[in-house]
């Protein structure tokens, strides 16, 4: 189609008839879908949908796929100023980079870094992100304002730590603030409240249990980072005699409303614990590649029926590269050694970044699939180019040949938010300019301790290994 223009996708009600539609059962030809007031109201064989909706003219989209927007199951929106400062760093970067950086952000810094991250997410094909909670003292409303303005759906975490560095905080005040967070964003359109504890060791057992229950009672998810690094597992074993995931179980904090990030270092007994409690996992393949000790056994989790989604952990908000990494890492870590050439096939990684992800992040009735009643959180993808020609297995081709440059349009709640990578109704260039003006100062103010040098200095060090200055 040569005359596809953003205006054509800007109507409140639409009947889209693309070449292919990605349904929960896989991609289908000769199908159409209807969007009314931000929701998908009809989907099915094209002629039947057209007959049921005579008031709408079909918008033919040859050479295009309409698919659900991707879900990033684990993000830290307020870390975006420092995302390129973490390369080459040894594990537990949060202690030396993230906590100092986020702690140094003022309200404008929180807003700008969140909006920058939201823009990058939308450009990368994500229509929903799960934020694990900021360590900034600034009001999380700045994060919600940024994502709302950008048009990104956000599961917004609120951190409730009361031990470790947070020891001495008023526990009653923490719980009151948690309840207020849940109430404040309960009916907030694109924002969905969530509660979080950074890692189990920074909360008392009573707080872990109470916060998890509060989230469950509110229909929200409870988030924690668990079993990511060897040092954290060892520390937990020494201090508690339990591994972090076992610690959460001992505090009675697991359950179907819980989303744990990472779980890269899991024993068979812990996998059984996840099955038994129906706890969900955020598998973060790029984070494993860049800073991990291991890869979460996601294909095994799929086989065991453990609910999981896929996340970026703030590394790189590019959904197609994320699902490619999800497949590749499973293949390298588990498939190659046993001759598992399928390694879940492409659809496993596609589903766990869309429809199955929605279930894991607590939004199974809201987004993640082209089903009547769900929000029209959609991507229009150009499949007319050489990468998808000839096409034999589009679902798997999306994992291996998909690229964000092929995303023509991003709709969230039925509203066109990006056209060929750029917002249609706000000035992204002005945002980037403002970020450039303030990010260096924010990073300079933060007491960040980096171990690895920037490339320029690292090259010098390689020439003179006795020079240890970084």
Q: Which whole-number Å values give the CA distances from 373 to 39, 75, 107, 219, in the listed order?
A: 6, 26, 36, 19
Residue 76 or 153 having the CB closest to Zn ion? 76
Smallest separation (angstroms) from Zn ion to the CB of 339 = 33
Residue of minimal Cβ distance to Zn ion = 313
What residues make contact with Zn ion under the rule CB under 5 A? 313
Smallest separation (angstroms) from Zn ion to the CB of 312 = 9
Contact status, residue 375 vs residue 38, Cβ threshold 8 Å: yes
Residue 70 or 419 having the CB closest to Zn ion? 70
Residue 14 or 99 having the CB closest to Zn ion? 99
- Decide: residue 173, CB within 10 A, 0-12 exposed, 13-18 middle, 19+ buried: exposed
Residue 313 or 382 having the CB closest to Zn ion? 313
Residue 313 or 359 having the CB closest to Zn ion? 313
Smallest separation (angstroms) from Zn ion to the CB of 436 = 25
- Residue 409: CB atoms within 10 Å: 24
Instruction: Provide the token pair at 244.
Output: 């972090």
Q: How far is it, in rounded angstroms, from Cα 416 to Cα 429? A: 18
Residue 119 or 287 having the CB closest to Zn ion? 287
Q: Is the dihedral of CA 127, 128, 132, 138 positive or negative?
A: positive
Nearest to 75 by CA among 410, 361, 402, 435: 361
**DSSP-assigned beta bridge partners for residue 298:** none
Smallest separation (angstroms) from Zn ion to the CB of 48 = 44
Mind giving me the DSSP string for 112-179?
A: HHHHHHHHHHHHTTEEEEEE-----SS-THHHHHHHHHHT-EEEEEEE---SGGGTTS-HHHHHHHHH
Residue 313 or 324 having the CB closest to Zn ion? 313
Angle at 380 between CA 374 and CA 385, to 5 degrees: 150
Smallest separation (angstroms) from Zn ion to the CB of 94 = 8
Q: How far is it, in rounded angstroms, from Cα 124 to Cα 146? A: 17
Smallest separation (angstroms) from Zn ion to the CB of 292 = 11
Smallest separation (angstroms) from Zn ion to the CB of 223 = 9
Instruction: Provide the token pair at 32.
Output: 């159409």
Smallest separation (angstroms) from Zn ion to the CB of 381 = 28
Residue 175 or 294 having the CB closest to Zn ion? 294
């Amino acid at each position: 189609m040569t005359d596809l223009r953003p205006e054509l996708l800007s109507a409140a009600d639409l009947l889209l008839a693309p070449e292919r539609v990605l349904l929960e059962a896989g991609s289908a030809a000769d199908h159409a879908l209807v969007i009314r007031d931000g929701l998908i109201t009809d989907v099915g064989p094209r002629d039947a949908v057209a007959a049921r909706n005579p008031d709408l003219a079909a918008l033919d989209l040859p050479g295009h796929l309409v698919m659900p927007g991707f879900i990033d199951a684990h993000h830290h929106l307020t870390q975006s100023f420092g995302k390129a400062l973490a390369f080459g760093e040894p594990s537990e970067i949060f202690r030396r980079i993230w906590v100092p950086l986020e702690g140094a952000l003022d309200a404008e810094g929180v807003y700008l870094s969140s909006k920058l991250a939201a823009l990058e997410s939308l450009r990368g094909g994500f229509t929903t992100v799960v934020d694990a909670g900021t360590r900034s003292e600034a009001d999380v409303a700045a994060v919600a304002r940024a994502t709302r303005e950008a048009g990104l759906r956000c599961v917004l975490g609120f951190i409730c730590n009361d031990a470790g560095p947070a020891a001495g905080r008023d526990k009653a005040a923490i719980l009151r603030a948690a309840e207020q967070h849940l109430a404040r964003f309960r009916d907030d359109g694109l924002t969905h409240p969530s509660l979080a504890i950074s890692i189990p060791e920074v909360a008392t057992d009573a707080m872990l249990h109470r916060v998890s229950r509060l989230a469950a009672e509110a229909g929200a998810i409870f988030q924690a980072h668990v079993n990511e690094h060897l040092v954290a597992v060892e520390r937990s074993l020494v201090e508690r005699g339990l591994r972090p995931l076992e610690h959460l179980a001992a505090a009675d904090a697991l359950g179907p409303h819980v989303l744990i990030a990472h779980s890269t270092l899991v024993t068979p007994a812990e996998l059984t614990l996840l099955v038994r409690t129906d706890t969900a996992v955020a598998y973060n393949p790029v984070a494993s590649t860049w800073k991990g000790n291991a890869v979460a056994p996601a294909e095994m989790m799929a086989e065991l029926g453990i609910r999981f989604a896929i996340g970026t952990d703030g590394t790189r908000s590019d959904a197609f590269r994320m699902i490619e990494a999800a497949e590749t890492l499973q293949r390298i870590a588990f498939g190659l050694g046993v001759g598992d050439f399928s390694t879940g096939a492409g659809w496993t990684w596609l589903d766990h970044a869309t429809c199955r992800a929605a279930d894991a992040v607590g939004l199974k009735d809201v987004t993640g699939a082209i089903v009547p009643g769900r929000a029209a959180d959609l991507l229009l993808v150009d499949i007319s180019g050489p990468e998808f020609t000839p096409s034999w297995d589009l679902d798997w081709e999306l994992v291996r040949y998909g690229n964000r440059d092929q995303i023509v349009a991003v709709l969230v709640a039925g509203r066109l938010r990006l056209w060929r990578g750029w917002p249609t109704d706000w000035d992204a260039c002005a945002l980037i300019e403002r970020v450039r003006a303030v990010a260096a100062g924010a990073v300079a103010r933060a007491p960040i301790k980096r171990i690895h040098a920037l490339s320029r200095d690292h090259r010098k060090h390689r020439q003179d290994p006795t020079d240890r200055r970084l």
